[in-house]
């Protein structure tokens, strides 16, 4: 790349994290009604998502440097899909929070 030009690739993961938080916020009220979560407890869901997502973003970046971006993308998508399926079948509020933290 030329002098003074930067790549937009490093910010793609941050954009995906922001989109994931936005998607969770859309269905949060319905999820709270279905699982009987109070207003105080409902604030833990987006907090847990942003905290764990930021932590895994740092770890994933380092592992991508070591093992390669394509391989890590593939395995992170597999892991995300598995945890999303587990969270979608949660019948208790604490199971939902555990899935958001993982």
Nearest C-alpha neighbor of 90 from the set 35, 33, 40, 30 = 35
Q: Kindly indicate the confidence band of residue 34, based on its pLDDT and cuts at 50, 70 and 90.
A: confident
Among residues 72, 24, 82, the alpha carbon closest in space to that of 48 is found at 24
Please answer whether residues 102 and 82 qualify as being in contact, where contact means their C-beta atoms are separated by less than 8 angstroms.
no
d(CA 69, CA 75): 10
Whether pLDDT at 25 is above 90: no
Q: Are 44 and 94 in contact (CB under 8 A)?
A: no
Give the pLDDT band of residue 22 (cuts 50, 70, 90). Answer: confident
**Cβ neighbours of residue 25 closer than 8 Å, sequence gap 6 or more:** 46
User: Sign (positive/negative) of CA torsion 69, 70, 76, 80?
Assistant: positive
pLDDT at residue 53, as a whole number: 77
């Amino acid at each position: 790349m030329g002098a003074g030009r930067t790549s937009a690739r490093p910010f793609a993961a941050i954009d995906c994290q922001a989109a994931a938080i936005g998607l969770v916020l859309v269905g949060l009220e319905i999820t709270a009604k279905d699982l009987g979560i109070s207003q105080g407890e409902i604030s833990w869901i987006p907090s847990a998502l942003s905290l764990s997502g930021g932590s895994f973003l740092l770890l994933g970046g380092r592992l991508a440097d070591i093992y390669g971006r394509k391989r890590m993308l593939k395995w992170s998508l597999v892991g995300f899909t598995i945890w999303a399926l587990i969270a979608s079948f949660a019948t208790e509020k604490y199971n939902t929070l555990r899935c958001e933290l993982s």
